[in-house]
Amino acid sequence: MRPLLRTAIVAAASFAVSAPVMAAPFNNLGFEDAAVPANLLPGWTTGGTEVSVHYGDVCLGGACIVVVGGLEGEYGLFLQSGYGAANHFAGVSISQMGDIPSEAKSIRMLSRPDSAFPNSGQFFGWENLRVSINGQDIPLLLLDVTNNVATIGGNLPIGLAGTIAELKVETIAIDDGIERWSNLDGIEFSTFLVPEPSAAFGVLAALVACIVRRHRCVNRRGCAA
């Protein structure tokens, strides 16, 4: 083999070994890329036992994913856990691989507030959702409710920002005969941390204490610093 050709092959092999693995950014996080009815969830992989994917249909007892009108934009998802194989309850999931933005600190999304329908054996709302990245669960908090739309979110584990990872969103499945439904829309990564309830309460308590102290100081005409 000619020396020049051997050198080129060795250089190419070295580059292939050392070159970083690249992935595309997460896409279709708002589900607006749906091509009805041919390709309802481009970019996403569905999971679960005997899961069906529909557009605008009603699920009748089974585990299913439905593309529906969005909580923002034209399209969103309706996820339902239900009876699967061997007549046991099964959850549904969507997942995809992508680049987590290097400055990302939390993940946020839209759903619906919780509500229960005990007579019909159904529980509806955001608390039926579970989010994980590379298999690590992201504890979700309710951040806001406006016009019956709930904004929820959770902080990313340390070290995940700037990496290639699998994002997975699924419904909780408990074999208790209760169907669990959730809307999902508008997934996004944020550069802000999700405030912990205890931390937010601590800040509020400190602010109130400061205001009370200043009020007393004014009434007493002066306080020590």
Return the percent helix, strand and coil in the chain, to nearest 5: 20, 40, 40
Q: How many residues does the chain have?
A: 225
Q: Is the pLDDT of residue 216 over 90?
A: no
Range of weakest confidence among 86-90, 126-130, 150-154: 86-90
pLDDT tens for each residue of 17-50: 444 455 689 999 999 999 998 899 999 999 987 7
Residue 173's pLDDT band, with cuts at 50, 70 and 90, is confident
**Dihedral over Cα of 80, 30, 101, 143: its sign:** negative
Least confident of 16-25, 90-99, 142-151: 16-25
CA distances from 134 to 18, 91, 137, 224 (A): 23, 18, 8, 53
**Neighbour-count burial for 122-140, b at 16+ CB within 10 Å, e otherwise:** ebbbbbbbbbbbeeeebeb
Identify the residue with better confidence: 12 or 148.
148
| Cβ contact 128:217 at 8 Å | no
Measure the CA–CA gap between 199 and 194, rounded to whole angstroms: 10
Q: What is the phi-psi region of residue 218: left when phi exceeds 0, alpha when psi lies from -120 to 50, beta otherwise? A: alpha
129 alpha-carbon distance from chain centroid? 8
Q: If DSSP codes are grouped into helix, strand and coil, which group holds residue 124?
A: strand
Q: Minimum mean pLDDT among 52-61, 160-169, 197-206: which range?
A: 197-206
Q: Which two tokens stand for residue 211?
A: 């205001």
Pull the structure tokens for residue 74.
């034209």
Residue 133 clears pLDDT 90, i.e. is over it = yes
CATH superfamily, domain at 19-194: Galactose-binding domain-like (2.60.120.260)
pLDDT the model gives residue 182: 94
For the chain, what percent of residues have pLDDT higher than 90? 55
**Residue scoring higher pLDDT (86 or 2):** 86
| Arithmetic mean of pLDDT over the chain | 80
**Model pLDDT for residues 48-90, shown as the tens digit of each residue:** 877 889 999 777 777 899 999 999 999 999 999 877 666 777 8
